[in-house]
């Protein structure tokens, strides 16, 4: 592949706010084969399926997300610009532990002849109704940009996010992003799902 085509692909990725290392881009291009007619969409799909922690990120894209940005001694800080990150974990922090426990077990009373199967369906429903979330949802995330991992929370409800998002999902964070006591606060204006 010519240097001009390589630079064009890198520029097109940068326009999507994706900064990758030259080594990763070259190896990705090589993986398609010499005869392949490669465009930015091929590279973009490969990037969506990549793990950002595997050194594909260009060091330039990590400047704002240094460990200093999430220093617990800093009361408040703002980060501007666009930043692509990867979801490592998501959790509904406002859900009672019993909801998470029930969702994890999902016992089928017809197949389990134990203590739990001796309760009536009405008793189970009454218990679950009492333990349901009564306040607003609060999602907490562990995200990475490929160099550092950080915690973020849903400061205001973000309708298109939920606690069953797939691990590895790529998100575009749009500044200004507020960080307080080492935690990034997200609103629907700050987040876009890339895939």
Residues 126 and 34 in one domain: no
Residues 124 and 141 in one domain: no
Residues 34 and 113 in one domain: no
Q: Could you read off the pLDDT of 128-163 as tens digits, one per residue?
A: 666 555 667 889 999 998 888 899 999 888 999 998
Least confident window among 18-27, 79-88, 90-99, 181-190: 90-99
Q: In which band, very low, low, confident or very high, does the pLDDT at 174 lie, cut at 50, 70 and 90?
A: very high
What domain range includes position 43? 3-50
Q: Do the domain assignments include residue 55?
A: no
176 cis-preceded (ω within 30 degrees of 0): yes
Domain count within the chain = 3
Conformation bin of residue 96: beta by default, left when phi > 0, alpha when psi is -120 to 50:
beta
Task: Please provide the size of the chain in residues.
Answer: 195
Q: Do the domain assignments include residue 83?
A: yes
Residues 66 and 119 in one domain: no
Q: Which residue has the tokens 């010519």?
A: 2
> What's the predicted TM-score (pTM) here?
0.74
Q: 124 or 182: which carries more pLDDT confidence?
A: 182
Q: Do the domain assignments include residue 56?
A: no
First to last CA, the chain: 28
Query: What CATH number did the domain enclosing 141 receive?
Result: 2.40.50.770
Residues 140 and 109 in one domain: no
* C-alpha span between 188 and 169 (Å, rounded): 17
Residues 83 and 112 in one domain: no
Residue 180 CB burial class (10 angstroms; 0-12, 13-18, ≥19)? middle
The C-alpha angle with vertex 184 and arms to 151 and 161, in degrees rounded to 5, equals 75
* Residue 193: per-residue pLDDT: 95
Q: Could you read off the pLDDT of 54-75 as tens digits, one per residue?
A: 866 664 455 556 556 666 667 7
């Amino acid at each position: 592949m010519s240097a001009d085509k390589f630079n064009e692909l890198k520029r097109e990725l940068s326009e999507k706010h994706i900064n990758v290392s030259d080594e990763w881009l070259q190896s990705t291009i090589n993986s398609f084969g010499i005869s392949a007619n490669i465009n930015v969409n091929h590279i973009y799909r490969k990037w969506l399926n990549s793990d950002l922690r595997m050194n594909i990120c260009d060091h330039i894209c990590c400047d704002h997300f240094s460990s200093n940005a999430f220093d617990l001694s800093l009361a408040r800080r703002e980060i501007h610009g666009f930043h692509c990150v990867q979801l490592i974990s998501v959790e509904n922090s406002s859900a009672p532990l019993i909801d998470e426990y029930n969702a994890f077990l999902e016992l089928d009373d017809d197949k389990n002849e134990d203590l739990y199967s001796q309760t009536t369906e009405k008793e189970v429903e009454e218990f679950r109704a009492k333990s349901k979330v009564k306040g607003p949802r609060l999602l907490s995330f562990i995200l990475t940009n490929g160099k550092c991992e950080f915690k973020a929370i849903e400061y205001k409800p973000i309708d298109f996010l939920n606690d069953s998002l797939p691990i590895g999902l790529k998100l575009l964070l749009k500044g200004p992003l507020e960080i307080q006591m080492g935690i990034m606060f997200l609103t629907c204006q700050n987040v876009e799902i890339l895939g």
